[in-house]
Amino acid sequence: MAYQTSRKQVFAVIAFCATKGGIAVDRTVPAQGEKSALRLAERLAQGLAGAAALSRYGDPEVGEFDPPVILASFGKVPADLADVFII
Q: What is the pLDDT of residues 13-36, one digit of tens each?
A: 999 999 998 899 999 999 999 999
Q: Note the pTM of the prediction, 2 decimals.
A: 0.83
H-type helices in the chain, by residue range?
A: 34-47
Backbone region of residue 63 per phi and psi (left: phi > 0; alpha: psi in -120 to 50; beta: other values) = left
37-84 pLDDT tens trace: 999 999 999 999 999 999 999 998 888 889 999 999 999 998 887 666
Indicate the domain borders of the chain: 11-72
